[in-house]
Amino acid sequence: MDALLVQLMPQQVILSNNCTNNIQTRIHKHRSQTEALLRPFHGASSVVTSSNHGGFYNRPFLESYEETPMLVAVLTYMGYGVLTVFGYLRDFLRHWKIEKCHIAREREEQKDFVPLYQDFENFYTRNLYMRIRDNWNRPICSVPGAKMDLMERVSHDYNWTFEHTGRVVKDVINLGSYNYLGFAENTGVCADAAAEVAMTYGVGLASTRQEIGNLDKHEEMEKLVAEFLGVESAMVFGMGFATNSMNIPALSGKGCLILSDELNHASLVLGARLSCSTVRVFKHNNMQSLEKLLREAIVHGQPRTHRPWKKILIVVEGIYSMEGSIVRLPEIVALKKRYRAYLYLDEAHSIGALGRRGRGVVDYFGLDPGDVDVLMGTFTKSFGAAGGYIAGRKELIDFLRSNSHSAVYATSMSPPVVEQIITSMKCIMGEDGTTIGSDRVRQLEENTVYFRKKLREMGFIIYGNNDSPVVPMMLYMPAKIGAFGREMLKRNIGVVVVGFPATPIIESRARFCISAAHSKDMLDRALSAIGEVGDLLQLKYSRHRQPASSARPFDHLYEDIDG
């Protein structure tokens, strides 16, 4: 415990104005230079850029967020307004038994009890979400690889219930799964190794790690994860969501301050709330907002008492899964060092998907893994498995083994899942004696650049970083959320559509996840279908369409990767 406190307890100091202004000046300087260069090419679009000015970045860094056209915003609000009016009308008809009611409600004899179902809170679900519910929870009956098979279903009561027709929709191009490196497969070295381990160890352990559920495979995996990340130690957990929500409360508590990005994942938000720490939110990827909170925290301390905070923990993600943006890690590390705070980095989407060696956002920026105090990630995406990890200094991991609820009470990770992680990680590291892993990392990068470039050339508004395999495409209007998903499925393309409350109310979108398993032909077919549906639904909102180039820089590099 004492070792952990030495590691995590900062010495709160009041910094001089000269020291605090130095880093801010460097950040502002390199931003203003690059923004001035790019402003004539982007007009009114909101573009955030960074480059190597000021010494923060060793490679170009560009993220773009085009402003919502005013007419589109007005029509989107009007669309939600119309839906709301009709929702209240339908509720009126249901109340008088004119329309059949499918919603959950209390029995008549319990009408005087405290309500179990809050009628107003369910308004959005029953009147808006239900209209397009057929776009979610579609049953899959195959491996969710580059292509997948879907079970066809129909609804005769406006999506309240579904019936399976018995027909299977074959070979649907999968643009929705987080299968970044294509390891979600039922053939190849990973599948074979997992099957062999299942025959030896079984599937479940029926115990926790601290009792009799600790296998040699678990310890082998943890040593491999630490080696992969370049840190002293690591520990694994059976569920990615619980890795955040159950470990943050072990690291932070009363008298501590958590500075959280406004777009952090729900698991991070829940963990921060469960910790009983004071939580303050800074604007997404905005270093001025973060530094302002850091300075105020140092100067004013805790509310009322003004005592120094026990520790200040900055919580961010590597890739933000709804925005497609990449964290400004070099700047955050600089601020963290300057203000003696600590950094918790969630690499759920970035580990395996970013960096020359697939080691995540730390590798992407060429930083020292030791600059991040708590490295977190999941195995559910790039590794095609399940679970998550926490990595860092040995004192930190030893503390979590005894104090994390997820470590003490959770059932051990399934042996075949462990072997899937070990085998896929060794492929990425090149320890399997092949170049399969490095080839897939390179292929993912090329697929991402190609797909994003083509969508912009077609006139769609695309959010996020140019190197992010998460590609949000803006739909805006509520009626187009369901329409886009259905029209794409008609063309044998499976996509994920997202709306409020997962996004701001006027920023509904389709979210594409690019994979190394996608061939150039698959991407071209998908792009052709997206362009066709975009014309049908009038989704090409961009006022700054990029001209299509005749040169195809990656054409000679696109090859199918053998499994």
pLDDT tens for 513-560 read: 999 999 999 999 999 999 999 999 999 999 877 666 544 444 444 434
What single letter denotes the amino acid at residue 292?
K
**Cut 0.85: pTM above it:** yes
365 neighbors 375 (Cβ within 8 angstroms)? no
Is the pLDDT higher at 555 or at 96?
A: 96
Phi, psi angles (nearest 5°) of residue 409: -110, -15
What single letter denotes the amino acid at residue 301?
G
Determine which of 38-47, 90-99, 240-249, 262-271 has the lowest per-residue pLDDT on average: 38-47
DSSP secondary-structure letter at 501?
T
550 neighbors 469 (Cβ within 8 angstroms)? no
pLDDT at 28: 46
Measured CA to CA, the distance from residue 489 to residue 497 in angstroms comes to 12
pLDDT tens for 397-442 read: 999 999 999 889 999 999 999 999 999 999 999 999 999 999 999 9
Is the pLDDT higher at 123 or at 526?
A: 526
- Asked whether residue 460 carries a pLDDT value surpassing 80, the answer given is yes
pLDDT at 13: 35
**3-state DSSP call for residue 150?**
strand
- Sequence-distant (≥ 6) Cβ neighbours of residue 294 within 8 angstroms: 259, 312, 335, 339, 341
Measured CA to CA, the distance from residue 413 to residue 410 in angstroms comes to 9
Calculate the average pLDDT of the chain.
87
Lookup: tokens for 270: 């829940």
- Per DSSP, the residues of 190-224 read HHHHHHHHHHHH-S---SBTTTT---HHHHHHHHH
358 neighbors 340 (Cβ within 8 angstroms)? no
Q: Tokens 């919502």 correspond to what residue?
A: 68
Query: What is the edge-to-edge ordering of all strands in the sheet holding 163-174?
Result: 147-154, 163-174, 493-494
pLDDT at 74: 95
- Per DSSP, the residues of 469-490 read SEEEEEEESHHHHHHHHHHHHH
